[in-house]
Homo-oligomer: A and B are copies of this chain.
């Protein structure tokens, strides 16, 4: 089976490599020459454009930064001489699109609807797990689309991930992702507050983390991604918040959550506050650091 992979960034490249490793013929495209070379070195094929990568592909996988890129890729856009044709106009009916970008559910539905009109199947399949899971092929996929479409996608998804969830119809994968990541942002900030409060009162954060990790405050964050330096090895907080899930990406996902809530007049008071805290943290110059660095924002001044 021939697969086109569009978007070879920190997440996309290791995902594409796992598809190569699984024996698929993978043609990739990215604006970065270094990313293309890395794919070729791993046994994939570098294409000159998304259209070239997608030629004759039965499956197109995309992993792009935001809705604008996804829409531009599939639907084209621009005006007059700057206008571009989208992939949908060039793909053969019967092809399958797997979009793993994190975008709004409404944007996902818009593209899926346009694909359907061309006889092309599309699922939204955003991921959880970060670069470590992308490398290891242990991502969690949250899939939106009908059941038959998910079954078509499964053979590809299971080479990149361990858990494949059928969240619901088109857009539901994105909704599940945004709900999860909003909660991640809340738990991350809250865990930082709790640990700093303990530290300022004389507790050892490692001991406090062990206690919380076996109590009712336990979470994936405190047990597997602890934001306090010195509590866990091999997590971003143990290497000066490098690598990991950047503050600016967390801010983007919290923004999607807040917009989704605003659209339907939902109340997300903690989610909204977390977005504002990460916005302040980013504006203070920490956008590229792992999101756990918000730990520093709650440090208590020594008297």
Give chain A's interface residues, CB within 8 Å of chain B.
105, 128-130, 140, 142, 163, 165-169, 171-172, 175-176, 178-184, 186-187, 189-191, 193-198, 200-204, 207-208, 210-212, 214-221, 225, 251, 255, 257-262, 264-277, 279-280, 282-283, 285, 287, 297-301, 303
Contacts and interface: CB of A to CB of B under 8 A. Distances in A.
A218 B220 contact: yes
Contacts of A169: 202
7 shortest interchain CB distances as A-B pairs: A186-B190, A183-B217, A219-B219, A267-B279, A128-B215, A269-B276, A272-B272
A186 B187 CA distance: 7
Contact of A168 (B204, B216, B283): B204
A267 B298 contact: yes
A22 B262 CA distance: 40
Among A129, A171, A273, max chain B CB count under 10 A is at A273
A281 to B, nearest CB: 9
Contacts of A298: 266-268, 280
Main secondary structure of the interface of A (DSSP, over half): helix
A216 B266 contact: no
Contacts of A282: 265, 301
Contacts of A178: 197
A178 B201 CA distance: 11
Given A217-B183, A258-B262, A265-B301, A210 B165 contact: yes
B183 A212 contact: yes
Nearest to A183: B217
Nearest to A105: B201
Nearest to A219: B219
A275 B272 contact: yes
Given A167-B208, A203-B175, A212-B180, A267 B276 contact: yes
